[in-house]
Structure 1
Amino acid sequence: MSQSETPEAPNPPSRAPGLLRSSGVVGVMTMLSRVLGLVRDMVIARYFGAGASADAFFVAFKIPNFLRRLFAEGAFNQAFIPVLSAYLTNGSVSEVRGLINAVAGGLGLILLAVTLVAMLGAPVLTGLFAPGFLDDGVKFALASDMLRITFPYLLLISLTAFAGAILNSYDRFAVPAFTPVLLNLAMIGAAIFLSPLMQEPVMALAWGVLIAGALQLFFQLPFLMRLGLMPRPRVDYRHEGVIRILKLMAPALFGVSVSQINLLLDTVLASFLQTGSVSWLYYSDRLSELPLGVFGIAIGTVILPNLSRKHAAQSKEDFAATVDWAVRAVLLIGVPAALALVLLAEPLIATLFHYGAVTDLDVVMSAQSLRAYSLGLLAFMLIKVLAPGFFAREDTKTPVKIGVIAMVANMVFNLALVFPLAHAGLALATSLSAWLNAMLLWRGLAREGAWRPQPGAVRFLLQLLVANVVLAVVILVLSQPVPSWLAASGVDRTLDMAILVAAGAGAYFVALGLVGMRVRHFRRR
């Protein structure tokens, strides 16, 4: 089909779906993905536990996954979506297509070159990201071999993020949010069906990552075709839009992905600690990321194109009100989620992972780092909704300054806490630096008038306090001692946890209703 024969790409709807509804769609899809992600981790824990082979895979997977979050879903998305939104608001369809084609060509060429270099230098990358593995030749070689297989995932998933950013800019949020489900399904299938066929069973997980990358990319292409925006890659680094994106991306690499850099530093230092430390941090991080992904990232995903269009239309009051709406939505979910993770750390780890090769010690140690990560959960979520307030206005200088401050602070916290608290100290350092990052972002938006508390802020905070006290009381009354959770069967643990979750969530939302909070208070277009 020729370019002239492609269907006209629609303009963004003048009456876009409500933010609550759009966030709900993304949240539901992300919840499905995260639940399957937990199933994936349960399968991995059952088959591979927290030993040397599991540590090697998590490092081989973390490196491209870290770069994906840093580059594709971090810097690129935050730079590309505001520029694309400006083209959608002020440009023609042909100009939008020209931007997409130029970005596809430039992005694809860079990613291909990076992927080839990384595959050739896999041992160097492994030594850089997990220097503690250098003393264990078998673990180091295994991680390097798997990295050669997993690293092309960065190329595939970055192009997937590019396609998803286009769809999000047209308020097609469901497809990009559903796409990560394919990663979990591929890895579950690889662990169960492929690992028994391989000489080194854990290598199956690496192949599962590569297969997932291809599935995710090809899944989104038909939806781009329906919009008439299927990219025709063209390398043109002189394109005005590409130049703007590149200028925004360089500082954005630091500004939006500091938490990912901090988590990576945890892995580097954890590689020097006792065997299992990398896995304990991984399992606890995965649990803390469930509410972060379902709610924090979902809200951030929805408001970025919305804020970008408001900025392009010079609607300052609506911009500030939208940021405040996002902050309140995060507080509504983030506070009880963090509280529940702190109070139920061992029961949650035991319910999800205490099977097969996972020992009682693994549960206890993972729970320590889960509590530490949970203390920073609200900060992680706030970063996801505050950073778009800068990037939507194409301001990348302020977040990069804040990011550098937070990253340096994290290094100091790491060194101060790793000796007395081991792996849990690394998690706590990440949480402390996240709070510093979030508070500085918040202060910056307030100073520039991009965020202002809307009427009823004090009443909202008091309602939130009452509901969370009720939640804590219900959990403490109904929960059993840790030894009982460790000794119980998988079925009993699952049933008891389901009762706890239902009772806690029910009590929380009933309490919110009794103190006067209603769903209509969060409806916003």
Structure 2
Amino acid sequence: MSRVLRASAIMAAGTMASRVTGFVKAAVLVAALGSAQMGDAYTVANAIPFILFDFLIGGVLSSVVVPMVVRRQKSDPDGGRAYEQQLVTVGTIALTLLTVVAVLLARPLILLYTDGWSPRRIEVAVMLARFVLPQIAFFGIGALAGAILNTRDRFAAPMWAPVLNNVVMIGVLAIYYLTAGQAGADVNNVSDADLTLLGLGTTAGIVAQCVVLMVSLHRVGFRLRPRFDLRGAGLGEMGRTASWTLAYVSITQIGFLVTTNIASGAGNAVPGAGNTAYAQPFQLFQLPYGIIAVSVITAMLPRMSRSVAEGRLDSVREEFSSGVRLVSALLVPAGLLLLVLGPAVTVLIYSWGNNTLDAAIYMGNVLQIFGLALVPFSLFQLLLRVFYSFGDTRTPVFIGAGNTAASIALSVLAAYALPAKYVVMGLAFAFTITYVVGTGVAWALASRRVQGLNGREVAAGLSRMYIAALPAALAALAVLWITRETTDLNALSAAIMLVGGGGLGMVLYLVIAHRMRIPEVSSVVGMVAGRVGR
């Protein structure tokens, strides 16, 4: 556990810096664009590059590239260097072609993810999409570099590079807000010059992130030499393995397509309760997952892949169970605190500029529902890495198909059964239920694969963590109630709730968990105390 903890701590520090600057970026974004029609247009346009990257390449990186590069590093006489160069060559060509095609198809792509938008609103989204779609190439090349760095146990750069992207975006959005003013939040009055600044600035941030990762890869000895001698490179094997990953991503994107269209329709009926009201809370929900779970997942996958290659299933079980307990030690209280303090978080971040207080509170209500999904969603992602460490990309497809079918059914039910104002909340609840059920299914299948996942030990640890976290949630609720009774809800009172309620809650949880001798919490406390004492 100590090795995972050290690696995770390095990544968590970078991810923390990335997420903190991401907080600022999100606040400036909503202040500049609002959370109604202009905000929704940007949200959809900027999501498409990531959708396409994920659809064709992103899933392959996380599930196929890392395990295969690890195997080639162990088996090839040159330590897999030629193989890495071949991967980067093929990836760069594929990403460039994908980017060109995507830019040409910007309009139909926007129409695919919107429902009932006005012609002007669609024109704004299409123009933004043409500027931001080149992100695909730079984001993908950077992700390839990050995957290779991870196989060499170099985790810092992939976690710190997004900070530069956020800093660039903060500057661009600040300039946009100062130059466009209130017109910047109105699709009917925003100028083409302002849209050009917004679109090109968004892509510039991803370019900077890519450059940082390529420089870091060069520093660890990788040399970018185009390699077209692909015979015997094993790319056919990768293609066969990746086909299941592409199927998995395709299935999940169907769910995203349905969610986006339902949110678009709700936003038409109730401005401020559409795509932005779903996307921004989802990003906030991803904050503790990104800082804690992603760091552990990134460190776990290469280690589990090596253990599988050496036939040591006991090491896989131990790596997984220790990772689950380590992740849950902080995600359990974080999920409960989001459930209590969701509106305080969003009012502090989003109640500025061209956005309204009511819209910020609405996003907080959505965030509260997402808080319920934090632990099951994170456990689900950890479970998928068990399959990927075996090179099994087929089983996650069937799990993903079930997840997506359940999500679509529940989302459509929410769209038809709930008033438009509550539809986005219903989508968040559908997401939560889907991952609770999906985690149970994935656990049963993964446990069968590795002959047990130390389930009793994990369940006992999680139970103790929730027992320790309940007083923390109650303390945060008390601070919330006192603050609401004595002041009006605004950014200042929200900050008091977060500092008082969130801070008191986390301190109380750490003290109780440490006294209960929950080893994962004690390890975190000990590591922090040791660093402070230096």
TM-score relative to the length of structure 2: 0.89
Q: Contact 2:348 / 2:490 at 8 angstroms: preserved in 1? A: no
1:141 equivalent in alignment to 2:138 = no
Q: Contact 2:31 / 2:350 at 8 angstroms: preserved in 1? A: yes
Query: Would the alpha carbon gap of residues 331 and 512 (structure 1) be closer, same or farther in structure 2, given more than 3 Å must change?
Result: same
Q: Contact 1:30 / 1:294 at 8 angstroms: preserved in 2? A: yes
Q: Contact 1:99 / 1:239 at 8 angstroms: preserved in 2? A: no
Match of 2:99 among 112, 115, 121: 115
Please report how far the alpha carbon of residue 481 of structure 1 lies from its aligned counterpart in structure 2 after TM superposition. Answer: 6.7
- Rounded Cα–Cα distance in structure 1 between residues aligned with 2:109 and 2:409: 24
Query: Amino acid of the residue matched to residue 24 of structure 1?
Result: A
Query: Amino acid of the residue matched to residue 63 of structure 1?
Result: I
- Rounded Cα–Cα distance in structure 2 between residues aligned with 1:264 and 1:436: 21
1:23 equivalent in alignment to 2:8 = yes
- Rounded Cα–Cα distance in structure 1 between residues aligned with 2:495 and 2:393: 45
1:359 equivalent in alignment to 2:338 = no
State the SS of the aligned residue for 2:80: helix
Please report how far the alpha carbon of residue 517 of structure 1 lies from its aligned counterpart in structure 2 after TM superposition. Answer: 1.8
Stretch of structure 1 that moved more, 115-124 or 255-264 = 255-264
Match of 1:163 among 138, 142, 145: 145
Structure 2: give runs of 5+ residues left out of the alignment.
Answer: 181-190, 525-534
Query: Would the alpha carbon gap of residues 269 and 361 (structure 1) be closer, same or farther in structure 2, given more than 3 Å must change?
Result: same
Q: Contact 2:64 / 2:238 at 8 angstroms: preserved in 1? A: yes
Which residue is equivalent to 2:203?
210
Alignment of 1:178-217 (within 5 A): 178-194=160-176, 196=178, 199-200=191-192, 201-217=194-210
State the SS of the aligned residue for 1:232: coil
Match of 2:377 among 377, 380, 384: 380
Stretch of structure 1 that moved more, 25-34 or 249-258 = 249-258
1:92 equivalent in alignment to 2:77 = yes
- Rounded Cα–Cα distance in structure 1 between residues aligned with 2:451 and 2:277: 39
1:257-294 per-residue CA deviation (whole Å, 9 max, x = no partner) reads 86665444322211111332111112211210111111
Query: Amino acid of the residue matched to residue 231 of structure 1?
Result: L
Query: Would the alpha carbon gap of residues 427 and 492 (structure 1) be closer, same or farther in structure 2, given more than 3 Å must change?
Result: closer
Stretch of structure 1 that moved more, 68-77 or 45-54 = 68-77
Which residue is equivalent to 2:309?
312
Stretch of structure 1 that moved more, 224-233 or 253-262 = 253-262
Query: Would the alpha carbon gap of residues 373 and 56 (structure 1) be closer, same or farther in structure 2, given more than 3 Å must change?
Result: same
1:89-119 per-residue CA deviation (whole Å, 9 max, x = no partner) reads 22222x6121112111211111111111111
Stretch of structure 1 that moved more, 98-107 or 71-80 = 71-80
Query: Would the alpha carbon gap of residues 435 and 463 (structure 1) be closer, same or farther in structure 2, given more than 3 Å must change?
Result: closer
- Rounded Cα–Cα distance in structure 2 between residues aligned with 1:194 and 1:49: 13
Q: Contact 1:75 / 1:256 at 8 angstroms: preserved in 2? A: no
Q: Contact 1:102 / 1:239 at 8 angstroms: preserved in 2? A: no
Query: Amino acid of the residue matched to residue 102 of structure 1?
Result: Q
Q: Determine what percentage of the aligned residue pairs are the same residue.
A: 25
1:329-380 per-residue CA deviation (whole Å, 9 max, x = no partner) reads 2222222111111111111111111112221321232123212222222122
- Rounded Cα–Cα distance in structure 2 between residues aligned with 1:519 and 1:430: 28
1:295 equivalent in alignment to 2:288 = no
Which residue is equivalent to 1:506?
507
- Rounded Cα–Cα distance in structure 2 between residues aligned with 1:508 and 1:202: 46
1:332 equivalent in alignment to 2:329 = yes
Q: Contact 1:77 / 1:161 at 8 angstroms: preserved in 2? A: no
Stretch of structure 1 that moved more, 308-317 or 327-336 = 327-336
Q: Contact 2:379 / 2:439 at 8 angstroms: preserved in 1? A: yes
Q: Contact 1:325 / 1:522 at 8 angstroms: preserved in 2? A: no
- Rounded Cα–Cα distance in structure 2 between residues aligned with 1:41 and 1:445: 37
Which residue is equivalent to 1:391?
388
Please report how far the alpha carbon of residue 69 of structure 1 lies from its aligned counterpart in structure 2 after TM superposition. Answer: 4.0
1:154-196 per-residue CA deviation (whole Å, 9 max, x = no partner) reads 1101100000011111110001111111221111111112554
Which residue is equivalent to 2:51?
66
Which residue is equivalent to 2:479?
478
- Rounded Cα–Cα distance in structure 1 between residues aligned with 2:251 and 2:321: 23
1:46 equivalent in alignment to 2:31 = yes
- Rounded Cα–Cα distance in structure 2 between residues aligned with 1:101 and 1:235: 9
Stretch of structure 1 that moved more, 70-79 or 370-379 = 70-79
Q: Contact 1:329 / 1:522 at 8 angstroms: preserved in 2? A: no
Q: Contact 2:32 / 2:176 at 8 angstroms: preserved in 1? A: no
- Rounded Cα–Cα distance in structure 2 between residues aligned with 1:47 and 1:313: 53
- Rounded Cα–Cα distance in structure 2 between residues aligned with 1:165 and 1:249: 15
- Rounded Cα–Cα distance in structure 1 between residues aligned with 2:237 and 2:341: 46
Query: Amino acid of the residue matched to residue 499 of structure 2?
Result: A
Please report how far the alpha carbon of residue 223 of structure 1 lies from its aligned counterpart in structure 2 after TM superposition. Answer: 2.1
1:174 equivalent in alignment to 2:156 = yes
Query: Would the alpha carbon gap of residues 462 and 52 (structure 1) be closer, same or farther in structure 2, given more than 3 Å must change?
Result: closer
Query: Amino acid of the residue matched to residue 313 of structure 1?
Result: E
Query: Would the alpha carbon gap of residues 487 and 254 (structure 1) be closer, same or farther in structure 2, given more than 3 Å must change?
Result: farther
Alignment of 1:485-524 (within 5 A): 487-488=488-489, 490-519=491-520
Q: Contact 2:344 / 2:497 at 8 angstroms: preserved in 1? A: no
State the SS of the aligned residue for 1:132: coil
Stretch of structure 1 that moved more, 497-506 or 238-247 = 238-247
Q: Contact 1:464 / 1:512 at 8 angstroms: preserved in 2? A: yes
- Rounded Cα–Cα distance in structure 2 between residues aligned with 1:96 and 1:327: 31
1:457-487 per-residue CA deviation (whole Å, 9 max, x = no partner) reads 4542342132112112211221137866993
State the SS of the aligned residue for 2:116: helix
The alignment yields a C-alpha RMSD, in angstroms, of 2.4
- Rounded Cα–Cα distance in structure 2 between residues aligned with 1:309 and 1:261: 33
Structure 1: give runs of 5+ residues left out of the alignment.
Answer: 1-15
State the SS of the aligned residue for 1:479: helix
Query: Would the alpha carbon gap of residues 70 and 177 (structure 1) be closer, same or farther in structure 2, given more than 3 Å must change?
Result: farther
Q: Contact 1:72 / 1:161 at 8 angstroms: preserved in 2? A: no
- Rounded Cα–Cα distance in structure 2 between residues aligned with 1:485 and 1:425: 31
Stretch of structure 1 that moved more, 248-257 or 262-271 = 248-257
1:207-250 per-residue CA deviation (whole Å, 9 max, x = no partner) reads 22210121111112222222221232224554443222222222
Q: Contact 2:45 / 2:132 at 8 angstroms: preserved in 1? A: yes
Please report how far the alpha carbon of residue 70 of structure 1 lies from its aligned counterpart in structure 2 after TM superposition. Answer: 4.4
Q: How many corresponding residue pairs?
A: 505
Query: Would the alpha carbon gap of residues 424 and 169 (structure 1) be closer, same or farther in structure 2, given more than 3 Å must change?
Result: same
Q: Contact 2:479 / 2:497 at 8 angstroms: preserved in 1? A: no
